[in-house]
Amino acid sequence: MVTEQPPNDVREAWQRQETEGARMSLEEIRGKAGKLQSKVGSRNRLEYIAVVLVVLGYGFYIYHYHSFTIRLGSILVIAGTLYVAYQLHKRASARALPQDCDFECCVDFHRRELERQRDALGSVWSWYLGPLVPGLVVFFLGTVFQPMPPRHGHHPWIALAISLTLCSLVFFFIGKLNQWAARALQRQIDELNAAAEPR
């Protein structure tokens, strides 16, 4: 006969199961916590280095070229990059789960984080790729109008068309990659909702 009471020894067996007695010293704990922190720190550093490189590169063009269009394009690219860095920090930076959180709050936090990341990835044209477009277009146009001594076989409009095509392809590819990633995040959100569904 099956009773509705589980045998007490199920609980007992659970509580008496052998454990390894694994302990971490405070030094180990601090070391591990520090490592996690420096992982986040090094990701941020990479982003800042990329921004500095773009600013230095286009800063050099501003200094070196006297063409108004190239200088304007460079200023716009720098402004676009700074805007992207700000948006990246605002939209994609990792947040910590509040400490005193029950199940619903924990799931809500993860859902909000995933939605935030999904929205950031799904809208890269408005805050990541888009702000760089005006600067790059003006910069490439500037290279066409740049007064240069006539050279045999130099076709500035063809060079412009190639640069713009390549740039468009790269941007299109980045946009698609981000869309795929956003869809993958949506699947994770759906799984989370299914897993956390109250019964």
Q: How far apart are CA 27 and CA 18, in angstroms?
A: 26
- Establish if 94 lies at the interface with another protein (CB under 8 A): no
Asked whether the beta carbons of 84 and 131 are under 8 A apart, the reply is yes
- Establish if 27 lies at the interface with another protein (CB under 8 A): no
- Establish if 149 lies at the interface with another protein (CB under 8 A): no
Number of residues that bind another protein (CB under 8 A): 46
Q: What sign does the CA torsion over 52, 54, 57, 60 have?
A: negative
Q: Which of 57, 51, 46 is nearest to 84 (CA)?
A: 51
Q: Is residue 154 classed as helix, strand or coil in its secondary structure? A: coil
- Establish if 147 lies at the interface with another protein (CB under 8 A): no
Question: Which region, judged by CB under 8 A, interacts with another protein, from 56-64, 146-154, 161-169, 186-194?
Answer: 186-194
| Measured CA angle at 95 (ends 101, 116), to 5 deg | 100
Query: Whose Cβ is closer to another protein: residue 62's or residue 196's?
Result: 196
Q: How far apart are CA 48 and CA 16, in angstroms?
A: 52
- Establish if 95 lies at the interface with another protein (CB under 8 A): no
Q: Is residue 53 classed as helix, strand or coil in its secondary structure? A: helix
For the record, the structure tokens of 97 come out as 């789960």
- Mark residues 33-72: x for contact with another protein by CB under 8 A, - for none: x--x------------------------------------
Q: Which of 72, 52, 54 is nearest to 62 (CA)?
A: 72
- Establish if 102 lies at the interface with another protein (CB under 8 A): yes
Question: Which region, judged by CB under 8 A, interacts with another protein, from 9-17, 56-64, 130-138, 167-175?
Answer: 9-17
Nearest distance from C-beta of residue 143 to another protein, angstroms: 46
Binding site for another protein (CB under 8 A): 2-7, 9-11, 13-15, 17, 19-24, 26, 29-30, 32-33, 36, 97, 99-107, 110, 188, 190-192, 194-199
